[in-house]
């Protein structure tokens, strides 16, 4: 009769992902291990809807209340004991009380997202202890950029455990030349109208109100026809109401389209519809939406953050503007509108950049190499 250890060695290797599979990006990243035969399980709070999702673990929504933080680690402990994973992959360094359990498990991979390690976002106050403990415990930390590498090494000496993983995008899905007529009909956009796109989360942190104000100034200066599409992912309801009020008071109801929470599978079409993408949050990691825009040929106008400067040169393959400056953002929009040849040249540069640093097939192989390396190391 086989022992428990022998059974574990004979069965397919198992990965426990601690992250929310409702996030399209984390869900997609969680599928990487399946390519090389790993069984993938998910732990999230609350437990994800098991409809169509195998391996969903965590406390059900009905068990969450004000006292849940005191006993919810029990569900994580039980999940680990139940599936006996060969490795745990954690997305997001701030894991609250789960840190006490996760930091004791080996092998442990930690993917930092950006805001979790930046002092102007989450890395401050009591959270510092929890985040640093996770970083110290991780066997490998995946980072998307040199900017995040520097942020990590300001926290501790992590150079030896940092691995560059951009995760990449599917270049067959995110590419130029996708049919967009149905979106033009949906939003009543004429063929000769320039289209600006404001993706990202609908919260004050992402400065969508600044984009709307700058778009109004742009229209008054340009005297031409244009549309602004505003995505509303994970909205702050008060902020969303304020944005719609701003649009109404600025007489932009015909020019601004609120597109709701755009499904991720529709994003390639929206980037193909759009001539120019605008993103100027107060702070950032390295957003996947920037890779997606670059792959589709959408011209990026970005806040002048050092992390964006790793990919975008002002006036060459995008525009960089001071964050929160309505006047300069409007000027950048006008520049982009009047320089179609520069936008075309930028599209070629950006597509080549994505081929080099953010090809999904290449990145998937990097991740699976990390999984295999750690499983082999700890099996010995």
- Mean pLDDT by groups of 10 residues along the chain of 380 residues: 51 90 87 92 79 69 59 86 95 94 96 94 95 98 96 97 96 96 96 96 97 97 92 96 98 96 95 98 93 98 95 96 97 97 97 96 96 91
pLDDT value, residue 70: 65
Rounding to the nearest 10 degrees, give the CA dihedral for residues 235, 167, 303, 319. -130
Q: At what angle do helices 326-338 and 340-357 cross, to 10 degrees?
A: 100
Give the integer Cα–Cα distance in Å for 333 and 148: 29
Residues 6 or more apart in contact with residue 125 via CB below 8 angstroms? none
Give the integer Cα–Cα distance in Å for 218 and 147: 32
pLDDT value, residue 69: 61
Structure tokens at 49: 């809807």
pLDDT value, residue 223: 81
Q: Global pTM?
A: 0.90
Spatial strand order in the sheet of 319-321: 256-258, 226-230, 194-198, 276-279, 299-303, 319-321
pLDDT value, residue 1: 43
Count the neighbouring beta carbons within 10 Å of the beta carbon of residue 176: 14
pLDDT value, residue 2: 46
Q: Which domains does the chain have, with CATH numbers?
A: 11-168+359-379 (3.40.50.2000), 181-357 (3.40.50.2000)
- Which of 138, 132, 134 minimizes the C-alpha distance to 162? 138
- 157-193: pLDDT as tens digits: 999 999 999 999 999 999 999 999 999 999 999 999 9
pLDDT value, residue 22: 82
pLDDT value, residue 373: 96
Structure tokens at 362: 């290449």
Which stretches of the chain are DSSP H helices?
A: 4-10, 24-30, 68-71, 73-83, 99-102, 127-137, 146-155, 181-186, 208-222, 237-249, 267-273, 288-296, 326-338, 340-357, 360-379
pLDDT value, residue 20: 85
pLDDT value, residue 224: 73
């Amino acid at each position: 009769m086989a022992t428990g250890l022998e059974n574990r060695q004979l069965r397919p290797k198992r990965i426990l992902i601690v992250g929310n599979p409702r996030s399209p990006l984390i869900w997609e990243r969680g599928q990487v291990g399946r390519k090389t035969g790993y069984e993938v399980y998910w732990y999230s709070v609350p437990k994800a809807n098991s409809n169509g999702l195998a391996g969903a673990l965590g406390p059900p929504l009905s068990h969450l209340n004000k006292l849940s933080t005191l006993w919810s680690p029990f569900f994580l402990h039980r999940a680990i004991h139940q599936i006996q994973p060969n490795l745990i992959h954690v997305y997001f360094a701030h894991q609250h009380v789960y840190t006490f359990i996760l930091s004791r498990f080996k092998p442990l991979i930690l993917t930092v997202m950006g805001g979790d390690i930046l002092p102007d976002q989450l890395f401050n106050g009591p959270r510092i202890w929890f985040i640093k403990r996770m970083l110290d415990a991780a066997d490998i930390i995946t980072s998307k950029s040199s900017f995040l590498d520097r942020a990590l090494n300001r926290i501790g000496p992590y150079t030896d455990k940092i691995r560059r993983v951009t995760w990449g995008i599917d270049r067959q899905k995110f590419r130029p030349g996708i049919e967009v007529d149905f979106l033009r009909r949906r939003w009543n956009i004429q063929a000769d109208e320039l289209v600006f796109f404001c993706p990202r989360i609908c919260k004050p942190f992402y400065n969508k109100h600044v984009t709307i104000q700058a778009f109004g100034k742009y229209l008054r200066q340009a005297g031409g026809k244009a549309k602004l599409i505003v995505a509303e992912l994970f909205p702050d309801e008060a902020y969303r109401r304020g944005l719609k009020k701003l649009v109404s008071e600025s007489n932009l109801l015909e020019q601004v389209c609120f597109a709701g929470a755009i499904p991720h599978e529709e994003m390639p079409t929206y980037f193909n519809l759009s001539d120019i993408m605008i993103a100027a949050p107060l702070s950032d990691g390295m957003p996947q939406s920037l890779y997606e825009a670059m792959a589709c040929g959408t011209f990026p106008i970005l806040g002048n953050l050092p992390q964006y400067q790793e990919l975008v040169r002002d006036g060459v393959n995008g525009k960089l503007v001071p964050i929160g400056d309505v006047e300069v953002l409007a000027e950048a929009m006008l520049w982009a509108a009047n320089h179609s040849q520069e936008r075309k040249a930028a599209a070629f540069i950006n597509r080549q950049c994505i081929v080099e640093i953010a090809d999904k097939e290449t990145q998937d192989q990097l991740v699976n190499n990390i999984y295999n390396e750690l499983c082999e190391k700890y099996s010995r």
